[in-house]
Amino acid sequence: MKNIEKYSRGYFMPPVKSLKWTEKEYIMEAPTWCSVDLRDGNQALVVPMSLEEKLQYFQLLLEVGFKEIEVGFPAASETEYAFLRTLIEQDLIPDDVTIQVLTQSREHIISKTFEALQGVNKAVVHLYNSTSVAQREQVFKKPKKQIIDIAVTGAKMLKKYAAKTEGDFQYQYSPESFTGTEVEFALDICNQVLNVWQPTADNKVIINLPATVSMSMPHVYASQIEYMSDHLNYRDNVILSLHPHNDRGTGVADAELGMLAGAQRVEGTLFGNGERTGNVDIVTLALNMYSHGVDPKLNFDNIPKIIFRYEKLTKMMVHERHPYGGELVFTAFSGSHQDAIAKGMKWREEKERQYWTVPYLLIDPMDIGREYEGDIIRINSQSGKGGIGYVLQQKYGLDLPAEMRESFGYSVKNVSDRKHKELMPNEIYDIFTNEYVNINTPVEFINYRFTQNDHYETIVSILMNKEEHEFIGVGNGRLDAISNVLQNQLGIHYKDLIYKEHALEIGSGSNAVSYVGITAMNGDVYWGCGIDADIMTSSVKALFSAVNNMIVKLQLPVEKKVIFSNGS
C-alpha cells in the first residue's frame, strides 16, 4: 500500500517491563461491569434515543444485571438532564444500582452536573480531560503542567460540589486518550488527582484508563495497565477500570488482557455500540468468561430477546456473524462441520458428559436462548449428509440409515444449488417425502395377507396400469415373501436388500417408519421409505417405494408372469 511512511506507532511502552499478566491462564472472576450504552453508545447513534427510549433501555440494562450504569452527560443537553432527573424523581434506580454521569473539568459543567444529581441515592461522577501528546499539542496547545492543573482543579471542584449536594458520590477520573499518552505522565496526572481525593477503604475512587483510540496490539495495552496498577498511589483503595474502544478490532482482547494485568472494572456496551468502530462488547466479554466456566454475573440467557429490544431502541443491527448474538454464529452449512456437530450431539446424549465439548460449538446455544432446531445446522448446497440427516431427525424424527443419508444428501444439495438458496427444514422434508415416502407408481401396493408353515406365504394385491392383481409369494420372512413376488413374478430384479425400522415419535402418533435400500443389477442403489401405523405395512411400503424409484430411474419394463386371482 502507498504512504506507509506517514504512519508511526503513536503509543508508549512503560519505562519498565510489565509482564506478570502473561503468567495467568484466564480471567478467574467477573469484573465490575459498567454499561455506557446510554452515554457513549447513545451519542454514537445516528438518531440518539428519546427520553422514553432511554427509560426502556435503562430497564433492559437492569434486567441484564448491570449494577453500574452511565446514564449520560447531564450538562450536555436538555434530554440528558431530563433523563437523569426522571430516574431520580420517579425513583427508578434500584437500591443496589449506581448510576454514573460524565463531566468535563469545567466549573459550569460540574455545577450543572451536580444540580442534575440532587437527591440521588448513589452516583459515580466521572471527571475527564485529555492527556495525549496529540491532544496537548494540537487541540489544547498546553504543556504537561497545565494539563495536570486542569485535572487537579476539576478534582477539587468535584469535592466542593459533592459536599453541598444531597446524595452519596464516588469519584472517577479518566486521562482521556490514555493510549496516546506517555505512561509516566498518565501515572503522574492520575496520582495527583488521587492526592486530591485521598481515597480510603470505605470511600474508594475509580481510575479509568481508556483506549479512547486503540493504537497498539493488546499486549502493549496490558503492559501499560499493569504498570499503572503497580504504581498508582492508594492502590488498595483504587478501583482500576478499563474503557477500550475497538479501532483496531481488538477491543475484547484489550479488555481481557487488561483484566489479566490488574483491572477490576470494565466499561462497555451491549454488542459494542459506540463512536467509530465502537466500544468493547460486553456481551462477548461476558460470554467468553462463561465459556471458561466463570460466572460473568450478567444475564444473557435469552440473547434473541435482548437483541430484539436492542435493535428496536437503537436502530442498530446485530450482525449475523457477531460473536454469540449473531443469527448465524452457531450455524454450520459445511458438510464436514455438520457431520461432526451431529455426531457430537449424539455422543453427548449417549454419554451424558458433564462438560460441553461438542465440536465447533464453543458453548451450548440453548444456554443463551438459541434453539438447536434451525440454529445449529442449516442446509444449502455446501451441506453434507450428516447435517441433512440431523435436521430430519431433530425436526421430524426420521433416523435415516447412513447409506440413505448420503443418497438423500445429494438430492438436497442439488435442489439448493439449482435454486441458489438455503433450504428450510420443511423444504427438506418435502423433498424427502416426494422422493422416498410411500411411492406408489408405477406399481402400487394395495394389501397383503400371510400364512406361516415352514415358511411365509403371502397373497399380495398390487395395482398396475389401473388394474388390481393378486400374486402369491413365498419366503423366509414376510418382507422376503413380498420381495420374491416382485422379483419372480413381475421380473423386477435387484439384490442386497438393506432394511431399517423405528417408531416415528415426532408429530405422528403411533406411526412406524421403515427404510429399504435395494441394489440394481447395474450396481446402483435405490431407496424407499414407508410410513404407516402398522410396522409391517410400513416395511412393505418402503420396499415398493425403493422398487418404484428403481423402475422409473432405469425405465424397467414390468411384466406379469404368474397371476393368482379368485382362488384359481
Mean pLDDT of 76-83: 92
CA distance 116 to 103: 12
Residue 458 lies in a domain: yes
Residue 330 lies in a domain: no
Provide the pLDDT for residue 289.
97
- Residues 515 and 429 reside in one and the same domain: no
Write the pLDDT tens digit of every residue in 280-297. Answer: 999 999 999 999 999 999
Provide the pLDDT for residue 328.
87
- Residues 168 and 127 reside in one and the same domain: yes
Mean pLDDT of 156-185: 97
Provide the pLDDT for residue 517.
96
Instruction: Assign residue 458 the CATH number of its domain.
Output: 3.30.160.270
Mean pLDDT of 301-323: 96
pLDDT above 90: percentage of residues in the chain: 74
- Residues 432 and 498 reside in one and the same domain: no
Provide the pLDDT for residue 507.
62
Q: Which residues pair with 168 in a beta bridge?
A: 122
Provide the pLDDT for residue 375.
65
Write the pLDDT tens digit of every residue in 190-246. Answer: 999 999 999 999 999 999 999 999 999 999 999 999 999 999 999 999 999 999 999
pLDDT band at 565 (very low <50, low <70, confident <90, very high): very low
- Residues 350 and 287 reside in one and the same domain: no
- Residues 234 and 116 reside in one and the same domain: yes
Residue 75 lies in a domain: yes
Instruction: Assign residue 129 the CATH number of its domain.
Output: 3.20.20.70
Residue 320 lies in a domain: no
Which residue, among 240, 182, 184, 178, has the nearest Cα to 210 in the 3D structure?
178
- pLDDT at residue 474 tops 60: yes
- pLDDT at residue 341 tops 70: yes
- Residues 145 and 245 reside in one and the same domain: yes
389 or 369, which is more confident: 369
Which residue, among 44, 51, 94, 49, has the nearest Cα to 69 in the 3D structure?
94
- Residues 194 and 138 reside in one and the same domain: yes
Comparing 2-11, 100-109, 118-127, 146-155, which segment has the lowest mean pLDDT? 2-11
537 or 456, which is more confident: 537
Cα 138–chain centre separation: 42
Comparing 306-320, 405-419, 428-442, which segment has the lowest mean pLDDT? 405-419
Write the pLDDT tens digit of every residue in 494-505. Answer: 999 999 999 987
Residue 423 lies in a domain: yes
Tell which of 436, 459, 490 closes a domain: 436
Write the pLDDT tens digit of every residue in 343-363. Answer: 888 888 888 778 999 998 999
Provide the pLDDT for residue 374.
63
- pLDDT at residue 521 tops 60: yes
- Residues 168 and 278 reside in one and the same domain: yes
Strands 168-176 and 68-72, sheet pairing: unpaired
- Residues 216 and 262 reside in one and the same domain: yes
- pLDDT at residue 144 tops 50: yes
Residue 492 lies in a domain: yes
Tell which of 258, 279, 314 closes a domain: 314
Residue found under cell 454475573: 297
pLDDT band at 524 (very low <50, low <70, confident <90, very high): very high
Using CA atoms of 458, 463, 467, 473 in order, give the dihedral in degrees to the nearest 10.
-20
- Residues 425 and 448 reside in one and the same domain: no
Residue 568 lies in a domain: no
Residue 560 lies in a domain: no
Tell which of 314, 344, 377 closes a domain: 314
Total domains, the chain: 3
Taking a C-beta distance cutoff of 8 angstroms, is the pair 271, 310 a contact?
yes
pLDDT band at 566 (very low <50, low <70, confident <90, very high): very low
Provide the pLDDT for residue 450.
82
pLDDT band at 456 (very low <50, low <70, confident <90, very high): confident
Q: How is 42-101 classified by DSSP, letter by letter? A: HHTSSSPPPHHHHHHHHHHHHHHT-SEEEEE-TTT-HHHHHHHHHHHHTT-S-TT-EEEE
- Residues 304 and 165 reside in one and the same domain: yes
Taking a C-beta distance cutoff of 8 angstroms, is the pair 364, 287 a contact?
no
Q: Domain of residue 514: give its range.
A: 443-554
Reduced to 3 states, what is the DSSP secondary structure of residue 213?
A: coil
Provide the pLDDT for residue 5.
87
Comparing 385-389, 469-473, 552-556, which segment has the lowest mean pLDDT? 385-389
- Residues 212 and 283 reside in one and the same domain: yes
